[in-house]
A and B are shown apart, each in its own frame.
Chain A
Amino acid sequence: MLRSGAEIMFTGDAGAVTYLFLVLLISLASIGRVSMLRRYRQKGTLAGVAAGFFLLAVSRVVLVLFLGAGRAGYSAAALAAGLAGFYMLMTSAASGRREEDYSPWNGRLAGPTAISGIVLGVSMLLVSGGKPLDSVAMRLVFFFVTFAPAGLVAGLLMERKRFGFRGPALIFASAAFTAAASVMAGLISSGLTGNDPFWIQLFTLVDVAGFFLFLIAFVFESSTASALPSPERDDGPRAVSASDMIAPGNIPGRKMMEISMKIIGGEKEQAVYKALAEAVYGETQAQFVLVRTAGEMDERFETKAWLHNGVICPQPRFSMKLNKNRFSALCCGEKAVCCGYFLDREDLGEDRDAFVPEGIEWSANGIAIVPVMEDGMTRGFFTIGFFRASPPVDLWEILRMYSFNVIEICARENFKEKVRSGRKALSACKDELEAANQLKSNFLSIVSHEFRTPLTSIKAYAETLLDNVKTIERDTMRNFLTVMAEENDRVIKLVDNMLSYSSMETGHLKVEKSSCNLGEMITESLRELEKNFMEKKVNTDLRLPKHDVVIDADRELIRQLLQNLISNAVKFTPHMGKVTVTLEEEASAARIVVQDTGHGIPEDQLEKIFERFHQVDASDTREFGGSGLGLAICKNIVEWHDGRIWVENVKEAGARFVVMLPVKDIIVRQAAAAGHIGSVRFERERYLSLLVEMLSEFLQAKKASIMVLDREKQVLQVIAAKGLDPEFVQNTNVELGERIAGKVFLDGESIHVFNIEKDGNMGRVNNSAYYGTNSFISSPLRDGDTIMGVINVSDHVEGREFTKADKEVLEAFSGIISGMLKKLEAYETVSFNFERLKEAMKSILHIREGLGSRNLVNYSLIALAVGRRLGLSEESLTALRMGMNMYDLGMMKIPRSIRMKKEELADREWKKLHEHPNLGYMLLSPMGLDERIMKMVRYHHEFFDGSGYPEGLMREEIPIEARIINVIDSFRALITHGPYRRAFTIDEARNEIIRNSGTKFDPKVVGAFVKVLHELGAREDDQELVLDVIEKELEAIRKENGNSGSGEKNREEIK
Chain B
Amino acid sequence: MRKGKVLVVDDEVNITQILEFSIGSEGYEVLTASNGEEAVDKARREQPDLIILDIMMPKIDGYETCRILKANPLTKNIPVVLLTAKGRDIDKRLGYEVGATDYIIKPFSPNKLIERIHELLVSSR
Q: Are B85's CB and A456's CB within 8 A?
A: yes
How near does chain B come to A532, taking the closest CB pair, in angstroms? 15
Contact of A463 among B25, B58, B85, B111 (CB under 8 A): B111
Q: Are A460's CB and B85's CB within 8 A?
A: no
A-B contact count (CB 8 A): 60
Q: Are A457's CB and B15's CB within 8 A?
A: yes
Q: Mark A606-637, 1 if CB is under 8 A from B, else 0.
A: 00000000000001011100000000000000
In B40-86, which residues have CB < 8 Å from any A CB?
56-58, 61, 85-86
Closest to B106 in A: A456
Q: Are B58's CB and A619's CB within 8 A?
A: yes
In B82-125, which residues have CB < 8 Å from any A CB?
85-86, 106-111
B15 — which chain A residues lie within 8 A by C-beta? 456-457, 460
Closest to A455 in B: B107
Task: Say yes or no: is A904 at the interface (Cβ < 8 Å to chain B).
Answer: no
How near does chain B come to A874, taking the closest CB pair, in angstroms? 66
A461 — which chain B residues lie within 8 A by C-beta? 14, 18
A622 — which chain B residues lie within 8 A by C-beta? 11, 56-58
Asked whether A457 and B109 contact (CB < 8 A) given A483-B17, A622-B57, the answer is: no
A459 — which chain B residues lie within 8 A by C-beta? 107-109
Q: Does more than half of chain A's interface fall in helix, strand or loop, or is it mixed? A: helix
Q: Are B22's CB and A480's CB within 8 A?
A: no
Task: Say yes or no: is A527 at the interface (Cβ < 8 Å to chain B).
Answer: no
Query: A468 to B25, alpha carbons, bound, how many Å?
Result: 9
B39 — which chain A residues lie within 8 A by C-beta? none
B108 — which chain A residues lie within 8 A by C-beta? 456, 459-460
How near does chain A come to B59, taking the closest CB pair, in angstroms? 8
Q: Are A460's CB and B58's CB within 8 A?
A: no
Closest to A483 in B: B14
Task: Say yes or no: is B6 at the interface (Cβ < 8 Å to chain A).
Answer: no
Task: Say yes or no: is A453 at the interface (Cβ < 8 Å to chain B).
Answer: yes
Closest to B57 in A: A622
How near does chain A come to B73, taking the closest CB pair, in angstroms? 30
Q: Are A448's CB and B85's CB within 8 A?
A: yes
Task: Say yes or no: is A487 at the interface (Cβ < 8 Å to chain B).
Answer: yes
Task: Say yes or no: is B19 at the interface (Cβ < 8 Å to chain A).
Answer: yes
Q: Mark A723-739, 1 if CB is under 8 A from B, else 0.
A: 00000000000000000
Among A449, A452, A456, A480, max chain B CB count under 10 A is at: A456
How near does chain A come to B62, taking the closest CB pair, in angstroms? 11
Task: Say yes or no: is A464 at the interface (Cβ < 8 Å to chain B).
Answer: yes
Query: A468 to B23, alpha carbons, bound, how many Å?
Result: 12
Asked whether A457 and B111 contact (CB < 8 A) given A448-B85, A449-B56, A619-B58, the answer is: no
Q: Are A452's CB and B17's CB within 8 A?
A: no
B61 — which chain A residues lie within 8 A by C-beta? 619
Query: A9 to B25, alpha carbons, bound, how many Å?
Result: 151
Asked whether A623 and B107 contact (CB < 8 A) given A448-B85, A452-B85, A461-B18, the answer is: no
Task: Say yes or no: is A476 at the interface (Cβ < 8 Å to chain B).
Answer: yes
Task: Say yes or no: is A798 at the interface (Cβ < 8 Å to chain B).
Answer: no
In A428-458, which residues have CB < 8 Å from any B CB?
448-449, 452-453, 455-458
Asked whether A453 and B106 contact (CB < 8 A) given A460-B18, A460-B19, the answer is: yes
Closest to A458 in B: B107
Closest to B56 in A: A622
A457 — which chain B residues lie within 8 A by C-beta? 12, 14-15, 18
Q: Are A464's CB and B107's CB within 8 A?
A: no
Q: Are B110's CB and A460's CB within 8 A?
A: yes
Task: Say yes or no: is A467 at the interface (Cβ < 8 Å to chain B).
Answer: yes
Query: A645 to B11, alpha carbons, bound, how many Å?
Result: 33
A483 — which chain B residues lie within 8 A by C-beta? 14, 17-18
Among B61, B85, B109, max chain A CB count under 10 A is at: B85
* Interchain Cβ contacts under 8 Å between A and B, 12 examples: A449-B85, A452-B107, A453-B12, A453-B85, A456-B107, A457-B14, A460-B110, A464-B21, A464-B110, A467-B110, A467-B111, A622-B11
